[in-house]
Amino acid sequence: MTRAALSVYMYGLYLVSGVALPFLLIPHFTLGIFGLSAGDDMWIRFVGVLTGIIGSFYIAAVLTRTDSFLAWTIPTRYVSASFLSLMVAMGEAGMALLMFASLDALTASLTWVAIRADQEEQATA
C-alpha cells in the first residue's frame, strides 16, 4: 500500500468509526462533547449514515486501487475544513468544531504530500 493510499484508508476508517458510528449510536452524547445539540435525532443520524457511506467509499477506493480517487479527496477535505471554520467564525458553531476542521486540513495535506512522495519514488525507480 502506498503512503497516499494508507492516508486515505486511515481517513476512511476515521469517518466510519470516529464520526459515523458515534452519530448513529450515541448522537446526543457525541455532540454534547463538542457543545452542539442534535435537535431532531433523525438529522444527526442521517449525517452519520452519509458519513459512513463516504468513509466506505474512501476505504473501497483504496482496496480496489482506484488511485485517481486519492487525489480527489484532497480538495473536498479542504472545502470541509473551510466550511467548518467559517461556521465557527460566523458564530454558528462552537470552537470545538475547529478540531474537525483542523483534522480535515491536516489529513488532506498529508495525503497531498504522500501522493507527491509516491510519485517521486516511482519516477526514480
In tens, the pLDDT along 6-59 reads: 999 999 999 999 999 999 999 988 888 877 777 777 888 999 999 999 999 999
* pTM of the model as a whole: 0.90
125, pLDDT greater than 80:
no
CA atoms within 13 A on the CB side of 28: 3
If one counts the domains in the chain, the total is 1
Question: Which pLDDT band, with edges at 50, 70 and 90, does 98 fall under?
Answer: very high
Question: Which pLDDT band, with edges at 50, 70 and 90, does 104 fall under?
Answer: very high
**Which residue range forms the structural domain that includes residue 97?**
3-124
- What's the mean pLDDT when you consider all of the chain? 93
- Which cell goes with 113? 504530500
Q: What 8-state DSSP symbol labels residue 93?
A: S
Q: What is the pLDDT of residue 2?
A: 95
